[in-house]
Amino acid sequence: MRGMPKFGSVAAYLKAVPPAQRALLKKVRQTIRAAAPKATEVISYGMPGYKHHGMLVYFAAFKHHCSLFGVGARLMEKHKQALAPFKKSKGTIQFTVEQPLPLALVKQLVQARVAENEAKR
């Protein structure tokens, strides 16, 4: 959602997102928070992000899709088959309301990112 104002919270960001995308991203948010309960929710680069010993993932809404950022090449390769239906680039996964990213997969990706960040400590 380029050209959007700066947001002070994830709730404020979601409020500005169109309703169908908002409903989808609220589910993504709940899944991330459940998968990484110790993570801190932030607005970074103008989008919702989650930190736990470094950045975990971000999500954002755009005109025709939503994206999950920060997954990383290793996890993208590991989950190649599950991610096959989605447009991908450099650790980013694009999805739509019509073709949402499975929440079970979001959970796996976030938990793996938590493990990666904790291993770096």
Residues of the chain with pLDDT under 50: 1
Going 101 to 10 to 53 to 118, the CA torsion angle's sign is negative
Q: CB of 46 within 8 A of CB of 4?
A: yes
Sorted by where each begins, the domain ranges of the chain are 10-120
Are 91 and 76 spatial neighbours (Cβ–Cβ below 8 Å)? yes
pLDDT of residue 1: 47
Q: Percentage of the chain surpassing pLDDT 90? A: 84
In this prediction the pTM is 0.92
- Cα 73 to the center of its chain, rounded Å: 15
* Residue recorded with tokens 């989808």: 24
Looking at residue 5, its pLDDT comes to 66
Pick the CATH number of 10-120 from 3.90.1150.200, 3.40.50.1820, 3.30.1490.100, 3.30.530.20: 3.90.1150.200
Report how far residue 121's alpha carbon sits from residue 109's, in angstroms, rounded to the nearest whole number.
19
